[in-house]
Amino acid sequence: MVKAMVFSHEIAPGQRVNIDALSLRLGVSQTPIREALARLESDGLIAKEPLKGYSATNLLTLKEFGDLFRFRLLIEPWAAEQAAKHIDAQGKAALKEEMQIAKEALKFDDNSKIEALTEHDARFHSLISHLSGNESLHQAFERMHCHLHLFRLFLANQRNLVSGEERPAFVSELFEQYYQSGSGQLAIKQHNEIYKAITGGDSKAAKQAMHDHIESSLKRFSPAAEAINDL
């Protein structure tokens, strides 16, 4: 559990992870480290090679990236549809609160804004998959989405590197495309459409809005996925 944070980019993708070093660094013994690593292995976030050790999994390949979004298109519009059908007062409150957080986040400065919006997006979609009422779908979503989240955190992390460091040129271009062109506001706007449809009980609109949002999101991220794929 604590290791999920460690993994969120203190260890570069593909890098081997040293158990002894981790245990010293975190001040705990090797056993709990191995447990956490085993859990992360089941989540597909690290890979284990017997007698060779653990290593962080690479970022999504271009194919995996496409697969993931195709899968989202399969389950999330349905989840939004179901959420609209079964929504109750408690669900409405939760959605409203999340939208409020997003609105506040738009006022932050660049770095904080990106981080906040990324976290908001993860929570928003997770919440809807939960509100679908289907536990199987929710679990599947959570396990799948962490890989996408990792990808986005990687992008944001790249940006935080000082310009002086050897930052690939494509990264700089990507930032303009994403973060400067008001895509944050666009995403929030689309979230708002979904939010209104769900709380309004309009299941058909909710399904459509979610579909459009994911397709839009795919278009925004595709150039980055291609660029990173070329490493």
Partner DNA sequence: AATGAGAAAATCCTATAGGATTAAAGCATA
Partner DNA sequence: TATGCTTTAATCCTATAGGATTTTCTCATT
Q: Considering CB distances under 5 to 8 angstroms, the limit depending on partner class, which of DNA, a second copy, none binds residue 54?
A: DNA
Residues in region 67-96 near a second copy by CB under 8 A: 67-68, 70-71, 74-75, 78
Which lies closer to DNA via its Cβ, residue 3 or residue 125?
Answer: 3
Give the shortest CB-64-to-DNA separation in angstroms: 25
Give the shortest CB-74-to-a second copy separation in angstroms: 6
Q: Considering CB distances under 5 to 8 angstroms, the limit depending on partner class, which of DNA, a second copy, none binds residue 15?
A: none
**Residues found near DNA in the complex (CB under 7 A):** 16-21, 23, 27-32, 34-35, 48, 50-54
Q: How far is residue 226 from each of residues 60, 71, 84, 145, 170, measured CA to CA in Å?
A: 10, 19, 35, 19, 10
Whole-number Å distance between alpha carbons of 179 and 177:
6
Give the shortest CB-31-to-a second copy separation in angstroms: 6
Which lies closer to a second copy via its Cβ, residue 75 or residue 84?
Answer: 75
Residues in region 152-211 near a second copy by CB under 8 A: none
Q: Considering CB distances under 5 to 8 angstroms, the limit depending on partner class, which of a second copy, DNA, none binds residue 64?
A: a second copy
3-state secondary structure 157-213: HHHHCCCCCCCCHHHHHHHHHHHHCCHHHHHHHHHHHHHHHHHCCCHHHHHHHHHHH
Binding site for a second copy (CB under 8 A): 31, 34-36, 38-44, 63-64, 67-68, 70-71, 74-75, 78, 133-137, 139-140, 143-144
